[in-house]
A and B are shown apart, each in its own frame.
Chain A
């Protein structure tokens, strides 16, 4: 920013960048794009390969997906740890908390129910 005095004067809207010059901004999008392609390619490669221990594949795919979402957030949506971005980060953190609760909560409860439910033929016999 040209004026250092105003540097932290206001918050940043989500999606806005600190950087104003074209060159570094273009470079940012290029780096983000390259990283995203790299992570995607790794994901697709891992999914179809026999080279790694098979049970590790789902974990690897999830880790790669989370990494790629981070890349998108930083390089495309320009979420940073800058003080200007605090509000945006807090909203994001709350959103992620809800997403986490919904997904893991559903999986956990449904897995429990599946385990505790008798097989279908037994239920049919009980209803008779």
Chain B
């Protein structure tokens, strides 16, 4: 069994008495491409940065390649690439100088890869960071995180400033470089279509809790929207498990309910109990996200 890239146990983080992370437990293995999604302020950035040791956890633990996030050895740090939400490029350095500065910390720096990606992503390396556009800065930050060929790549909203065409190409190439069976990628985003295209696992974070941690396809299979049409008024309690959201018509004869992890047998039993016809509909990720946050 391969070593976990990330192992998080009951992770808590709080600021001024407000809990931002509330007992998150999860694991990332090599080969995983994890997409992190959640509303603004849900705790995505806090989770990623606490996990990497930028912020000491209030309780619980996060381990990167088996080492506590508070004390990461240089050997482990050499295996990590991180692109923060707000880039940390030094304003008056050119792209070439930023690369030179970052590469000096790594014994294994793949200059050929960085040069190739800079060309393909059209990053103007001869210009200072403070005159680059948001998208160009984002690409340059990602180049700096990829140069050491990291075994764990963490990206906090890496494509927020890119146009759709650049975004698609960028993510595709990113996965070609970093997303093989030996490496793990974790990226947060608000763009659900990117998750569907790229991630094989999803973390949905709501109010500092990990609401879903599993494979993308499983999530899509497990969440279903039920259209219920009854012959008599529906009971106040529908008696369904895993209800995420529920809406009833004013006449109380029809209802739309989104449920999670409801088996076929449960569905038939509910239909019989309510004397109703229940039609089940699969949902896309965007709809699932909306239903979860409804």
On whether the two chains bind one another, the answer is no
Show the binding face of A for B, using Cβ within 8 Å: none
